[in-house]
């Protein structure tokens, strides 16, 4: 995910006008255990749906690696990505320690072998 200032010729839809300065974009990649069944892999999305109940979340989306062109800078080795936005640092702080978040981690962590979080503060 690349977040950048849009060129002057970009349409409003391309410029990300819904991401205001100080919005936090929380991107989490998950690598699931190789020996889990397809059913378990599909059930794992319940984790994301449980998080959706947390009221400080502005948006929540999740997906799988895109089948983009293979290049040295592209890492498609993960199984799922979660992308969540928050109004500000205060709201992501509430999320990080929210009982729903902590309970969901406890319930679903047996599915994954690795998790990588990248948080970004929108500046423009």
Q: What is the pLDDT of residues 2-58, one digit of tens each?
A: 444 444 444 444 445 578 999 999 999 999 999 999 999 989 999 999 999 999 999
- The CATH architecture annotation of domain 25-77+87-121 reads 2-Layer Sandwich (3.30)
Q: Is 110 exposed, middle or buried (0-12, 13-18, 19+ CB in 10 A)?
A: exposed
The domain segmentation of the chain, as residue ranges, is: 25-77+87-121
pLDDT tens sequence across 93-116: 999 999 999 999 999 999 999 999
Point out which residues pair with 32 in neighbouring strands: 112
Point out which residues pair with 84 in neighbouring strands: 26, 60
Distances (CA, A) of 15 to 18, 26, 88, 113: 9, 19, 20, 35
């Amino acid at each position: 995910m690349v977040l950048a200032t849009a060129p002057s010729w970009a349409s409003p839809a391309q410029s990300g006008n819904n991401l205001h300065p100080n919005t936090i974009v929380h991107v989490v990649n998950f690598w699931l255990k190789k020996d889990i069944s397809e059913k378990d892999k599909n059930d794992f999305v319940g984790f994301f749906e449980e998080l959706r109940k947390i009221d400080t979340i502005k948006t929540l989306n999740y997906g799988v690696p895109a089948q983009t062109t293979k290049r040295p800078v592209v890492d498609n080795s993960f199984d799922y990505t979660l992308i969540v936005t928050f109004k500000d640092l205060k709201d992501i702080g509430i999320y990080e320690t929210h009982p729903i978040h902590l309970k969901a981690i406890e319930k679903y962590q047996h599915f994954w072998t690795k998790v990588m979080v990248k948080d970004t503060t929108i500046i423009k």
